[in-house]
Amino acid sequence: MIEQMTFEEILNDYFEYRAALKLKEKTTLNLKTFFNACRKNYPDDLYLTQEMVDTWSEKRDTESPASYMSRIGPIVSFIRYAIAREWIDIIAPKIKRTPRKPYIPHFFTYIPHFFTDKACEDIGGNTLNYTVSRLRRLEVPVFFRLLYSSGLRSIEARLLRCENVNLVTGVINVIFTKGYHEHRVVLHDSMLELLIQYDKAISQIIPNRKIFFPTLNDMCHHKSWVPRQFNKAWSKYNKTSARTGDIRHFYAYMNINSWTNVGYDVHDKLLALSKSMGHTSMRHTIYYFSLRCTTLTSLKNLSKKLCCH
C-alpha cells in the first residue's frame, strides 16, 4: 500500500470527493452510521478492518432485498474508492442483486392519446381546498406535456427551479437529476409558449416562487405526486396499464423513428439526443435505436401473418 490511513481519514477524503462532484448527500448518512457503529464496537481500532466490513455486511432478518441494497451499496462504493487508491487491503462485500420483474413498456402509439383525450385537463378535483385544486389544474397538463416534448425525467421536471428555466431563450438547465449529470434541454417553440402562459398564471397564485412546479408552500412535490397524477389521468380513458417513464421512452423512440435517409448523420443525431436526455453513456441511447429495429421487424412479421389469413 502507498500509505496507511485511518478509517476516519479515508472517510473524510471520500466525503470531500463526493462534495466536489456535487453528489447526493443521502449516501453519506449510511457511511456515517457505519463509521459510528465501528467506533462503538471496535473502540481501539483506528483502521478499517475486514471484520468490520463483513459484520456490517451481513443481511439482517428484518431487511428486504431493497433495504439491504440501500444500506450496503454506499459501503461498497466507499470501499472500492479506498481500494483503488491502495489505502486499504480489504475485500468489498459481494451483493447479490434481486432480479427485477421484466417490465413491458406501454405500446408507443397510445401515449399521445393521453393528451388528445385531454386526460390531463381533468385533473384537479377531489379536494376541499380550492387553491390546491386550481394549482393542480394548472400544473398537471403543463408538467406532462413538458415530459412529452422534451424527454425530461419526471424527477428533473419535479425538481426544476425557476432560475433554471429561461423563458426567453427556451433553454432549461437541468441541475437536479438522476445521479450527477447536468445537461441542457432546448424547448420547442410551442412548449416555450405554453410555459410562458403557465408561468404568468401560476405567479398569480404563488408570487416570487422559487420552484417551477410548486406546492402551495413553494416546495417541490413529493416523488409520489407524479405517478399519482399520471395514474388518475391515464385510468380515465385507458384500460391498459402504463407508467410515467413511458413518456420518456416515447420521446426517444419517436425521435429516432423520424430519422430517415440520414446516413452518417445518425451518429451526430444520437449524440445530440443522448446529451439532451442526460444519458451517462451512449449505449443507453443506442438501446432505443435497437428497439426501433426490433419493433419494425415485429410489425413486418405481424403484417405477413395478417396477409396470410
Say how many C-beta atoms besides its own lie within 10 A of residue 207's C-beta.
8
- Cβ 28 vs Cβ 15: under 8 Å: yes
At 158, which amino acid appears?
R
For residue 242, what are the CA distances in angstroms to 10, 124, 233, 291? 45, 20, 11, 18
The three cell numbers of residue 33 are 452510521
Stretch 272-298: mean pLDDT? 67
In angstroms, the CA 259 to CA 309 distance is: 33
Average pLDDT for residues 178-189, to the nearest whole number?
80
Mean local confidence (pLDDT), 281-290: 69
Dist. CA 277–CA 178, nearest whole Å: 11
Q: Mean pLDDT across the stretch 171-198?
A: 87
**Which pLDDT does position 247 carry in this prediction?**
84
pLDDT of residue 48: 93
When mean pLDDT is compared across 17-31, 102-116, 178-192, the lowest value belongs to 102-116
Task: Please give the single-letter amino acid code of residue 255.
Answer: N
From the candidate CATH numbers 3.30.420.10, 1.10.443.10, 1.10.260.40, 1.10.357.10, the one assigned to the domain spanning 112-243: 1.10.443.10
> Where residue 42 falls among pLDDT bands split at 50, 70, 90?
very high
Residue 142 burial (CB count, 10 A): 21
How much is the pTM? 0.64
For residue 300, pLDDT beyond 50? no
Report whether pLDDT(306) > 50.
Answer: no
Q: What is the tens place of the pLDDT at every residue in 63-100? A: 888 888 888 988 999 999 999 998 999 998 887 666 66
Q: pLDDT-derived band of residue 298, with 50, 70 and 90 as boundaries?
A: very low
CA 67, CA 169: separation in Å to the nearest integer?
Answer: 43
Q: Which of 251, 222, 301, 281 is nearest to 108 (CA)?
A: 251
Strands (E), 177-306: 183-186
CB burial class (10 A; 0-12, 13-18, 19+) of residue 297? exposed
Segment 189-232, tens digit of pLDDT: 999 999 999 999 999 999 999 999 999 999 999 989 999 988 88
pLDDT 10s digits, 18-34: 888 767 666 788 899 99
pLDDT of residue 33: 92
Residue 123 pLDDT level (bands cut at 50, 70, 90) = low
Q: Which residues contact 36 (CB under 8 A, 6 or more apart)?
A: none
Q: How far apart are CA 174 and CA 12, in angstroms?
A: 29
| Contacts with 27 (C-beta within 8 Å, 6 or more apart), sequence order | 18, 74, 77
Please tell me the distance from the alpha carbon of residue 170 to that of residue 55, in angstroms, as a whole number: 53
